[in-house]
Amino acid sequence: MKILIVDDSTTMRRIIKNLLIKSGYSDILEAGDGQEALEVLEGNTDVGLILTDWNMPRMTGIDFVKKVRGDERFGRVPIIMVTTNTSKVEIIQAIGAGVNNYIAKPFTPGTIKDKIEQTLKQMAS
């Protein structure tokens, strides 16, 4: 399964990528903001999961999620928001935009694996 990581921090992309590899995922794509992520998706319409940050330059994660959900090709792709924006108001906003699950930064290594499994299970049922 192809997984797309969207984060303007190369550090965070590298950490998440390493955790995904340790969890057995190997087909991993990266983008540094929402705009770049849309371009990556154009060439990879078979992406099976998206992990995205919220605060990014050019196009924020929330705007990216809205664009993805507005494209029928990606309407069912699970999206997990990995962010520090975890106040109640922000979580409600993210869910409204189409996010399926939420990971608060900072996180432990096990959190990424657990949330992915939980999200994929929910989407399959």
Residues in touch with another protein (CB under 8 A): 8-12, 14-15, 18, 55, 57, 83-90, 104-108
**Which residue number, 4 or 8, has a Cβ lying nearer to another protein?**
8
Contact 78, 101 (CB under 8 A): yes
Please, what is the minimum distance in Å from the beta carbon of residue 114 to another protein?
14
Closer CB to another protein, residue 47 or residue 116? 116
User: At its nearest, how many Å lie between another protein and the CB of residue 80?
Assistant: 17
The closest of 69, 24, 43, 118 to 61, measured between CA atoms, is 69
The residue (of 1 and 104) whose beta carbon lies closer to another protein is 104
Least separation, in Å, of the C-beta of 53 and another protein? 9
Residue 103 CB partners (closer than 8 Å, separation 6+): 51, 80, 81, 82, 83, 111, 112, 115
Rg (CA), the chain: 13
Q: Rank residues 64 and 78 by Cβ distance to another protein and give the closer one.
A: 64
